[in-house]
Structure 1
């Protein structure tokens, strides 16, 4: 069966990553390439460009898919800013296969996140590029639901003042006073990560609190990337290199189950899990048409909820008009009796 769409070609090519050349190898290769080329092979043509380093040539190849990225990026994300972040990340990704790099960047674009290290990261594992949403990326998608007013995520250190009483009413159940004037040595090591959200309605979500032991259990049980890094002896997963940020991200991952979830947020969790498992992620990201339908459905749902809110009837107005007159009372004989003005 012919692969007609970009998604089909990327998915097919990504499943054969072991046999595909890396971006670096494709750029340095000078063989003649036929006009009908597969997704990974198209990078060979760019290798014939004069001057420029590997990252520049790879970026030029990616820009040939500019129309696909323009369709994928939401209106509030500037394509120039997106590609500027991609350009900064490319030097560390040249050993990835072109197919995996393309699918990781398309996935990132469809969720409307910039791979700047704060909202998302494109990470290399072997020859595979993977889209990794960071804690700020999860916060961004929670805001987009329109029902979350603010999200708070943080770390509690040994020298901080804090209290947690789950049975107390919010917001008295949880307080945290960071010891900002203490030195890092005086403040001590982090002992807890937490996350909570205030709804647009004014209500507050349940507070999610994770100990270091909780984070380690999540890492050991669910992170296949960590397990692969352990087995290979490379120790280069995010759990190895940036444990505290993954600790905070785990708290946010649990928080998303306690706040109103958008279809986009659910899809990103699935894409995040697929990337950790070494699977294709772009199939989980909403395509532009689907994203439009989901947005329309969300608007319709909100309108339906608003229409069910009880309406308060206005109180009658005394005097000044026919609608404001009160009805005359009747006596026992059935005759109308009007009150005399005092």
Structure 2
């Protein structure tokens, strides 16, 4: 029982502090989680940064020897901080784009080798101008390759036909507005190739691009214009498998579940430029032909090469499913098919079986790879 107390000013009664009831057993032994403040949930940015660190060993397996998974993780974290909207995208698409860059040996970021661009809730992988040039060198068959923007005050001329030539002398001082973009290459065997595009042609490709109104097209138009010319030139180069894969995967997204690109993509080398005069046919009656060589007077005509087998309905359905997963609309589909097949004007209706298999193999990881 509480003891009474008296003072000159207060009536007798229990002490105020003694009116409190003793704490119940349930209050004394509450779970720890109820006694402490609720733990703050990590932000999407922090979640992605943690996933990047976890992915470092996986990236190490795909990276070339001169790069490390830790370096790629640091680069990815920097890109994430520079473009906070990437954290609003799905983690799967971010990690998929990052893994694509790693497997091609390209560093996303200010160097311009590759870009990770948010498109809605999806991260899109975009190889940059420097990245394509880097991959082109890996073929080991080039002596030089570069691309330039031509301005209206520059001295510029080019000639096609049997004696192709290109001359570009940049103007000193004010060069005016951009009018052309070109990419040129010199092969180790002495052959040359170049591709010239007007600014209008470049802008038409930009208009079909999903990232045409944001990302590097907005921040670095010159580099993206030169990259566009390099992509056109790549069709005629003895390029590396990595270069052709980068061109095929331009502006695509991966869900991160396929942890590896095919180590070898079966891509045809494409048509090569015949840069030497055509060799005249040897007449069977020529004095230079040795008598021991029996050349028939009327050789049988060579059978025509069999036409390429058209893609089956099943293959076309798979390609359409890939396009749907990548969220390609009707306007962008022609550009996607041109990138995938390395053939201008390609459509779903005229896809060959080999082309369809090539597209499917790029986006589908087979067992054992």
TM-score (norm 2): 0.55
Deviations 1:36-69 (A, max 9, x none): xxxxxxxxxxx867xxx86565323211122211
**How far apart are the structure 2 equivalents of 1:56 and 1:225?**
26
**How far apart are the structure 2 equivalents of 1:252 and 1:285?**
26
Question: Which residue number in structure 1 is paired with residue 55 of structure 2?
Answer: 65
2:234 corresponds, among 256, 259, 269, to 256
**How far apart are the structure 2 equivalents of 1:150 and 1:285?**
31
Q: 1:110 is paired with a residue of what secondary structure?
A: helix
Q: Mapping of 1:2-21 within 5 angstroms? A: none
* Runs (5+) with no aligned partner, structure 2: 1-32, 34-39, 270-369
Kept in 2, the 8 Å contact 1:120–1:134? The answer is yes
Matched residue count: 226
**How far apart are the structure 2 equivalents of 1:244 and 1:281?**
31
* Runs (5+) with no aligned partner, structure 1: 1-31, 33-46, 227-234, 299-342
Shift of 1:251: 0.5
Q: 2:133 is paired with a residue of what secondary structure?
A: helix
Shift of 1:241: 4.9
Shift of 1:264: 2.1
Q: 1:264 is paired with a residue of what secondary structure?
A: helix
Question: Which residue number in structure 1 is paired with residue 100 of structure 2?
Answer: 107
2:245 corresponds, among 248, 251, 267, to 267
Distance 1:195 1:120, change over 3 A: same
Distance 1:58 1:217, change over 3 A: closer
1:135 corresponds, among 129, 140, 156, to 129
**How far apart are the structure 2 equivalents of 1:200 and 1:280?**
40
Q: 2:249 is paired with a residue of what secondary structure?
A: helix
Q: Does residue 176 of the first structure (1) align with residue 154 of the second (2)?
A: no
**How far apart are the structure 1 equivalents of 2:248 and 2:256?**
8
- The structure with the larger Rg is 2
Shift of 1:286: 2.8
Shift of 1:282: 8.1
Q: Mapping of 1:1-342 within 5 angstroms? A: 55=45, 58-91=48-81, 92=83, 93-117=86-110, 118-167=112-161, 169=163, 173-179=165-171, 181-182=172-173, 186-205=174-193, 207-220=194-207, 222-226=208-212, 235-236=213-214, 238-275=216-253, 286-287=261-262, 290-291=263-264
Give the structure with the higher percent helix: 1
**How far apart are the structure 1 equivalents of 2:187 and 2:246?**
21
TM-score (norm 1): 0.58
Kept in 1, the 8 Å contact 2:117–2:215? The answer is no
**How far apart are the structure 2 equivalents of 1:108 and 1:134?**
11
Higher alpha-carbon deviation: 259-268 or 118-127: 259-268
User: What's the Cα RMSD here?
Assistant: 3.1
**How far apart are the structure 2 equivalents of 1:283 and 1:269?**
19
Q: 1:155 is paired with a residue of what secondary structure?
A: strand
Shift of 1:162: 1.8
Kept in 2, the 8 Å contact 1:194–1:210? The answer is yes
Distance 1:239 1:66, change over 3 A: closer
Shift of 1:223: 2.2
**How far apart are the structure 1 equivalents of 2:257 and 2:226?**
25
Question: Which residue number in structure 2 is paired with residue 7 of structure 1?
Answer: none
**How far apart are the structure 2 equivalents of 1:269 and 1:211?**
21
Shift of 1:249: 1.5
Distance 1:199 1:73, change over 3 A: same
